Structures are given as C-alpha cells and as structure tokens.
Amino acid sequence: MAIPHDTSEAPYLLPPDEDWEGRGVPDFIYGQEELMAGGVQWPRTASGAPAACLPLSRFDSALCSAWRQRMELGLFRYRLGDLQTQTLPGAVGFVAQLNVERGVQRRRPQNIGSVRQAFDPAQFNFNKIQPGEVLFRLHREPGLPGALQQEDILVVINVSPLEWGHVLLVPEPSHGLPQRLLPGALRAGVEAVLLSSHPGFRVGFNSLGGLASVNHLHLHGYYLAHRLPVEGAPSEPLDPGGHLHLLRALPAPGFLFYTSGPGPGLESLITRVCRATDYLIDREIAHNLFVTRGAPPGKAAPSSALTGVRVILWARKSSFGIKEGEAFNVALCELAGHLPVKTSHDFSTLTEAAALTLIRDCLLPPAQAEEVQAALVALAAQDEQ
C-alpha cells in the first residue's frame, strides 16, 4: 500500500516567494466528526496483496502535501527516497528499513543525563527552527472533550526523517516544556492517529534516557505502509477493570492501554497513561510509547481488525546518546517492530535473533520490571475505587 502523496491542500503550502518570516502559521481545525474510530483497515486486493492506495482524510492530505513541498524545497537534511524494506524471517515479523542518511546526518543528541532534566533554552529547541519547517497548527474545535486542557500543537517536519511524512507534534513551544509527557500532548497524538485514514500512521514518544535527542516536549508521527507486531499482539489483563494489559509477545513486553475512539474512554486512557509515565519519571525510569490503530486487548492476532487505538508503554534502561556500531538504536519504533537500520551491511545480515538481542539489552532487569508492573497495577486499581 502506497504512502499518501496528495498535493491538493494548498492552504498549508508555502507561498511562491518563500516569505516564511512574514507568513502566519495556518490552523488545521478539526471536529469530532473527523475522528475516525472505525472503518480504517489494511485493505487487500482480490489477489490478497496490499491495495495500492487509500482515500485520504483531510488531515492526511494537508500533512502530506505540505510535507512533500518542504522536501522539494530542500528543508530536510537529505532527500528521502523509497527506502529498501524487508520483513525479517521469524516469528516476530520485524519490518527492517535501510536508512543510511538518517544514521549519518541526523542532529547529534543533546547532552542529557537525567530523565527529569530541566529545559535549557541555550540548547537546540523548536523555537529555533526555520519558519518553513512548520506545516500547520493542530487545533481542536471548541467543545470537544478535554478542550479546557487543549494546547496548540505545531506540526513540524522532522528534518532527519525516518519515513515518509515524518513530523513532530510540538505543544506550545514558547513555553519551554521539557520532554515529559503531558495530557494535552498525548491527546493530540491519539487524535492525530484518529484523524488519519491510513492504518500505517503512527505516533510515538521517547522520554529522556529513552533516546529522545531534544529536551523540548514533542511526539513523533509518521507513515509506515506495513503492519507491525504490536497492532494485534495478544495480551492479558493486569487489573479487574481491564484498563491495563500486558503484552508478553515479542519484540518486547509492554503495557497496553486501549480506547475504541473519542469520548470518555479516550479521556480516561489519557489520564491513566500520564499517571503511569509520571510514576516512571519520578523514579528516573526511561520509557517509550507508541500509538497505533489496533485490535482490542485479549487474544488478538496479527491480522485482527483495527477497531480502536492501542497505546503501548515500555519501561526500559536509560540510554543517553547514540550508540555507535550497532545496527539500530532502540526507541519507540524499534520496540514496536520497525527497525531503521544504519548501514547496508547490517541491513543485509540482520537476523531476528540479533535484533531481539539488541532490544533485550535495553529492557529493565526482571526484578525492576516486576516492581514497575506492580506499581502500575496499583495505579490502575485506583480507578476502580
């Protein structure tokens, strides 16, 4: 299935004279009716192969047209072509992609030494980007649930893209918020997934120590035209109310939260997830988070229907900076089964076993993992009281 390449949403394109400084940031305003809870699936042709294209939502059209224009204008560090992609043989179904340019040309990570490190305005942050890197401001219509906690969210290109349409969701950059997940940011991420009609549009978050390279609050969003293991991995409930589940399946065990769509269930999910990430940050535990359309918790399967949104949270060992010499670095997409590989040699020789070894090296020791699980179960139990 192809990644969207629509160019019809002119309001989000830069003017021909490229007068970026004098141009206001356009607003993308959306309402409840655009949040697609169901009906978005991986389509198939009569032969069983993935379909060539999908109808685009208004959000997809706006994002992809503006993103493609910025690529043509040379605002990225490299021009992203069709990435060589393979599914690694084995039970997991890792999707490996060769992305040499990102490995070489991405900005060096900031000097970070703590999951709770304060924002430093002297370091690179999203108030220092070129105006043309901003695509639009994501804004909810008044009256939607959670509107009192709404932040303006800038949708900004990632100048070192993982894949087509790779953007950053940056809440209120002028506020100088550190890289700590907040309810408004998570809500914007989940609703961005619901705004897309492409099942491969995902959103994620890396904490400090979880390979976030910039200590300024942001989430990642990007398109990947492949199923990932976490979409339909089976899970088991950890609390009587079924609000918290454990994914035991490979590539890594994680905590699963699920919502069938917008409304009270989504607001409850946001509260539960942010309570969990607050617990981890207060105890200096790094973490990664991944938002994808997926199957309900339980005995799902890789081909299960995408009836809602899965939010998967992984607690992990802290890792500061980029590790040289490894095939890939373990962050939000790798834990979900998407492996951006740095060199041709590693891409041609990488095996499922080697990938799992790299990922397992980043996970918490068993005793600490059990302690975290017990604490998150206790937090979930508070919802039942």
Q: At 153, list the tokens.
A: 């969210």
What do you get for the CA distance between the two ends of the chain, in Å? 46
pLDDT of residue 48 exceeding 70: no
Per-residue pLDDT band for 52 (boundaries 50, 70, 90) equals very low
What Å distances lie between residue 358 and 61, 107, 175, 223, 325, CA to CA?
Answer: 37, 23, 36, 24, 12
pLDDT in tens, 341-378: 999 999 999 999 999 999 999 999 999 999 999 999 99
Q: At 347, list the tokens.
A: 């891409």
135 with 70: CB under 8 angstroms?
A: yes
Beta bridge partners of 319: 210
Peptide bond before 15: cis, by omega within 30 degrees of 0?
no
pTM score, whole prediction: 0.93
> What is the rounded distance in angstroms from the CA atom of residue 289 to the CA atom of residue 104?
25
Residue ranges of E strands in the chain: 27-30, 85-87, 95-98, 134-140, 153-157, 167-171, 201-206, 219-223, 235-237, 245-247, 254-259, 286-294, 308-316, 338-341
Beta-carbon neighbour count of residue 118 at 10 Å?
A: 8
Please tell me the predicted confidence (pLDDT) of residue 54. 62
235 with 245: CB under 8 angstroms?
A: yes
pLDDT of residue 275 exceeding 90: yes
51 with 163: CB under 8 angstroms?
A: no
pLDDT in tens, 183-192: 999 999 999 9
Size of the chain, expressed as the number of residues it contains: 385
Q: What DSSP character marks residue 303?
A: T
Beta-carbon neighbour count of residue 330 at 10 Å?
A: 26
Q: Of the residues 166, 218, 243, 245, which is catalytic?
A: 218
Between vectors from CA 263 to CA 242 and to CA 206, what angle results, nearest 5°? Answer: 70
Per-residue pLDDT band for 38 (boundaries 50, 70, 90) equals confident
SS3 of residue 119 by DSSP: coil
pLDDT of residue 57 exceeding 70: yes
Taken in order of first residue, the domains within the chain and their CATH numbers are 10-17+26-382 (3.30.428.70)
Calculate Rg over the CA atoms of the chain: 20
Please tell me the predicted confidence (pLDDT) of residue 276. 98
pLDDT of residue 47 exceeding 50: no
Given CA atoms 370, 375, 377, 378 in this order, what sign does their dihedral have? positive
329 with 352: CB under 8 angstroms?
A: no
Please tell me the predicted confidence (pLDDT) of residue 321. 67
Per-residue pLDDT band for 303 (boundaries 50, 70, 90) equals confident
Task: Please say if 338 is a catalytic residue.
Answer: no
Q: Tell how far CA 86 is from the center of its chain.
A: 21
**Nearest CA-CA partner of 235 in 292, 295, 288:** 295
Please tell me the predicted confidence (pLDDT) of residue 323. 66
